[in-house]
Chain A
Amino acid sequence: MVSLALALSVTLAALFAPVIAPYDPGTNDFEAVLAPPLTHGHFLGTDELGRDLLSRIIWGARASMQAGVLSTLLGLIVAVPIGLTAGYYRGWWESVAMRLTDTLLAFPFLIIAVGLAAILGPSLVNATLAIGIVQVPKIVRVTRAEALSIREESYVEAAIAAGASDWAILIRHALPNMTSTLIVQATVILPIAIIAESSLSFLGLGVQPPTPSWGVMLTAAQSYMTQMPWLAILPGLAIFVATLSFNLVGDGVRDAFDPKGLR
C-alpha cells in the first residue's frame, strides 16, 4: 500500500506540477543561491542559479513519467501486433520478425539512444523514442511466446470451427488472454524506463537544460557535490523513490496475476 501511495504521488506530482510546485522551476532567487535545505522559503534549498530544488524535483517527475509511460506505450503499440501475428501465423513472417528482433537486441540501449541523438538531436522526445525502441524486441518475444501457446488452446480451435476470421480470433480471443502478461511487462518496463531517461539526461542525450529533469539536475550537481552534497542526493533520491515504488507495485501486480509464481 505504501508503494502504491508513493507511485501515485509521483504520478500526481508529474500531472499537477504547475499547481503543486511552490515556484516556477526556472525562477531564480539570487538572494538565496546554493541555499541548504530547510532555508526559509526554500524547503529543499536552491541550486547554483538560485532555483528552488523542491519545485525542480516536482517538475522533474514530469519528464521521468512522460518518458516512462510513453516509451512503455510505444513499445507495446509497436511490439504487440508483431509478436501476436508472428506467433499466430508463424511461417515466413515469424522468421522475419524474429530475425529483426534478434538484430535489434544486438544494439545496446545507449548505442540506440546515441544514434538517435546524433540523427535527430538530443531531446526528451528522442530519448523516449530510444527507450521505446529498445523495449520492442523484448515485448515481441514475450507476445510471440504467448501467442504460440494461445493458438493451441481449445477456445481458439472452437472459434476457428465456428468460422471466426483470423482477425476476430486475434483481437477477441488471443489479445484479451494475454492482457495479464502485457500488464506485467508494462510494470517491468516502467521503472527501467524512468532510470533510462534520467541516465540519458545525465549524459546530455535526453532533456536539455534549463528544462527540469532529475538526470539534468544530477549533471549540474557534479560541480558542487563536495560542498553542497544535497544537490546530488535529493534528485537521486527522487529517482530511487519513484523507481522503487513502481518496482514494488510491479511485484504486487505480478503476484496478483501469478499467485503460483516462484517468488
Chain B
Amino acid sequence: MFLPRRLWGSLLALCLASIIVFAGARSLPGDPAIALSGEGYDPVANAHLRKKYGLDQPLPIQYLRWSSLAIRGDLGRSIRTGLSVKDTIIRRLPITLELAGLGVLITILLGIPTGIASAVRRGRLLDYVVNGVCLFGLSVPPFWIGLLFILLFASTLHLLPASGYVAFTTDPIENLRRMILPAFVLGSAFAAWVMRQTRSAMLEALRSDYVRTARAKGLTESRVIMRHALRNSLLTVVTVLGLEMGVLISGSVVTEQIFLIPGFGKLIVDAVVTRDFPIIQGVALFSAVGYILINLLVDMLYSRLDPRIRFT
C-alpha cells in the first residue's frame, strides 16, 4: 500500500507544482507576446503571436496546452538566446549534478562518521569538539567560506584555481582541481546538518531496547554500533538528505555564482538578470520535478531499509 499511495501523492504534488509555476509565469510583468516578438511593437504581429501561442485562450486552456507541451519536453525557447529551454537546461544540468554529487559525497564523508563518533562519545571532549565544529558549520554563510577559500587556496597559496570550469571529459584532473573547492563549500554546510541528525538519531538508537538486547547477547560494541544502531539511524539520515535536497539546489546556485561554474544555478541567476522568463519557468518546473522525484526515490529507499514501512 505504501508505494502506490506515495506515487499518487507525488503525482498530485507534480500537478500542483506545475500549476504554481504556470501561475507564477503568468504573473510576470509584461505581455508574453511582446516579449516573444522582441524589439519593436507591431499590433498585427502581436495578435498573430497571441493566437499562435494560444495566449488569447482562457487561462485553464492555456495551462492544459502548456502542461501537455511540458510533458513532451517542450518548455519553450529562451528569449535571450533563442535556444530551446529544455536543451539549455540539459546542457547545464550535468555540471550541477557533478557539483551536487561531489557535495553530497563530502557531506556523507564528513557528517555521518562525526555524528556517530559524537554520539558514541557523548559528553566527552570529542563530542564537544564535533558539536562546536557543527555549530560553526551551521552559522557560517557558505558563500563567505567560498570567498575565504578562494583567498586562501587560490590567491595566497596558489594551490587551486579560483574559478571556472573544465569538463571532466576534456581534462579529468583539471576538472577535479576546479571542483574541489566548490564541492567542499557546498558539502561542508550540509555536513553540519547531517552530523546533527546522525548524532541525534544515534543517541536515540543507542538508548533503545534492541541495542540493550544486542549488548546483552554479548556482541562487541563496534558490532552493536555498526550493525544495529547505525542501520536504524540511517533511516532518519536518508530522509533528512532527501528533504534537504532543496538546500543543496539552493546552495549550488550560490556556489556556482562564486566559482563561476556555468551550471543550472548560474543559469537561473543570469535568467533573472536578463528577465529571461521561459528559462525561469523551465528551471522552476525542473527543480520542483527533480525534488519530488528525489523524495520519491528516498521514500522507496526508506521502505527498503525498513521493511515495516511497506506494510503500513
Contact = CB atoms under 8 A, between A and B. Distances in A.
Contacts of B287: 106-108, 111
A244 interface: yes
Interface in B19-36: 20, 24, 27-29
A114 B24 CA distance: 11
Interface residues of B, number: 52
Contacts of B204: 262
A203 B150 contact: no
A122 B269 CA distance: 12
Contacts of B273: 204
A211 interface: no
A222 B142 CA distance: 15
Contacts of A248: 135
B136 interface: yes
Nearest to B12: A99
Interface in B94-131: none
Contacts of B253: 110, 114, 203
Nearest to B275: A118
Given A106-B291, A199-B141, A225 B28 contact: no
Given A225-B150, A233-B148, A107 B280 contact: no
Nearest to A134: B246
B190 interface: no
Nearest to B18: A103
B20 A107 contact: yes
Contacts, number: 139
A243 B141 contact: yes
Nearest to A231: B147
A117 interface: yes
Nearest to B269: A203
A196 to B, nearest CB: 9
- Residue of A106, A195, A229 contacting most chain B CB atoms (<10 Å): A106
Nearest to B20: A103
Contacts of A119: 24, 27-29
A157 B262 CA distance: 59
Interface string A80-115: 000000000000000000011011111111110011
B280 A99 contact: no
A103 B16 contact: yes
Contacts of A114: 253, 268-269, 271-272, 280, 283-284
B172 interface: no
Given A218-B144, A229-B151, A107 B17 contact: yes
B155 A108 contact: no
B139 A199 contact: no
Interface in B123-176: 135-136, 138-144, 147-148, 150-151, 155
Nearest to B291: A106
Given A103-B13, A108-B249, A262-B200, 11 more contacts: A103-B17, A107-B20, A110-B265, A119-B29, A195-B141, A225-B147, A225-B155, A236-B148, A240-B140, A243-B141, A244-B136
Interface of B: 9, 12-13, 16-17, 20, 24, 27-29, 135-136, 138-144, 147-148, 150-151, 155, 200, 203-204, 243, 245-247, 249-250, 253-254, 257, 265, 268-269, 271-273, 275, 277, 280, 283-284, 287-288, 291-292, 295
Interface of A: 99-100, 102-111, 114-115, 117-119, 122, 191, 195, 198-199, 202-205, 218, 221-222, 225-226, 229, 232-233, 236, 239-240, 243-244, 247-248, 251, 262
10 contacts: A106-B292, A106-B295, A108-B247, A108-B291, A111-B249, A115-B280, A119-B29, A199-B254, A239-B144, A247-B135
